[in-house]
Structure 1
Amino acid sequence: MYRISKEFHFSASHQLVNMPAGHPCARLHGHNYVVRLELASEELDQYGFVVDYTALKAFKDYIDDAFDHRHLNEVLDSDLPTAELLARHLHDWAKARWPQVCAVAVSETPKTWARYQP
């Protein structure tokens, strides 16, 4: 199995409004997100790629247009726009375009990651 990944970055705010009173995530706050798109294939294409990295520009454009410097509660239409749910959303968007997509990981801080892999 061949595996590749590419990293993307954006900044956004969110608020987990259903958290208990006093929980820091219940307050409006922001993160500098890191997203890692992972793809895998047993076969390479005619150029020797799982997917040409340049083809993934559409994913960067989607993140830049839909998420960068936006409020995730509004973008995802959710009271709980967690990293886990964001990873699932981004996975589903990318999987519809590249069948080789196998997982998406989202980091809100340098020490935390959420990963969605069906």
Structure 2
Amino acid sequence: MFRIRKEFHFSASHRLEHLPPDHQCARLHGHNYVVVVELSAETLNTDGFVRDYHDLADLKTYIDGQFDHRHLNDVLEVPSTAEHMARHFFDWCRARWPETSAVLVSETPKTWAEYRP
């Protein structure tokens, strides 16, 4: 299996309003997010790629327009946990690139959430 990954960055605020008021994540705060999209294929295309990295520029456009410097509670219909965001970005990517095999989202350098069906 061949796998490629590309990393994207954005900054945003959010609150996890479903948590108890004394939980630190229930308060307004922000993160410098990292989103990694992974694409997989058993064979390469005629150019020798799983997919041309240039094709993934649409994800940067989407992230920049809808997520960067936004309040995620106003953007997402589900709680803005890294897990929900990984699923959201996976679904968005898979609809465009059937080779999408996983999406990872990081809120801090030491924490990662992954969605991989």
State the TM-score bracket (shorter-chain normalisation).
Answer: over 0.9
- Matched with 1:69 is 69
The Cα of 1:77 is off from its aligned counterpart by 2.6
What root-mean-square deviation, in Å, do the aligned CA atoms of Structure 1 and Structure 2 show?
0.6
Structure 1 runs of 4+ with >6 Å offset: none
**SS class of match (1:20):** coil
Deviations 1:31-82 (A, max 9, x none): 000000000000101100000000100011001101000011111033x210
Gaps of 5+ in 2: none
TM-score (norm 1): 0.97
CA–CA distance in structure 2, aligned partners of residues 104 and 92 of structure 1:
9
CA–CA distance in structure 2, aligned partners of residues 106 and 32 of structure 1:
11
The Cα of 1:20 is off from its aligned counterpart by 1.2
**SS class of match (1:96):** helix
- Matched with 1:95 is 94
**SS class of match (2:59):** helix
Alignment length (residue pairs): 117
Which amino acid in structure 2 is aligned with residue 43 of structure 1? T
TM-score (norm 2): 0.98
Gaps of 5+ in 1: none
- Matched with 2:51 is 51
The Cα of 1:21 is off from its aligned counterpart by 2.2
Deviations 1:76-104 (A, max 9, x none): 033x2100000000000000000000000
CA–CA distance in structure 1, aligned partners of residues 103 and 64 of structure 2:
16
CA–CA distance in structure 1, aligned partners of residues 77 and 44 of structure 2:
38
CA–CA distance in structure 2, aligned partners of residues 77 and 69 of structure 1:
17
The alignment-based identity, stated in percent, is 63
- Matched with 1:113 is 112
Quick check: 1:8 aligned with 2:36? no
CA–CA distance in structure 1, aligned partners of residues 70 and 52 of structure 2:
29
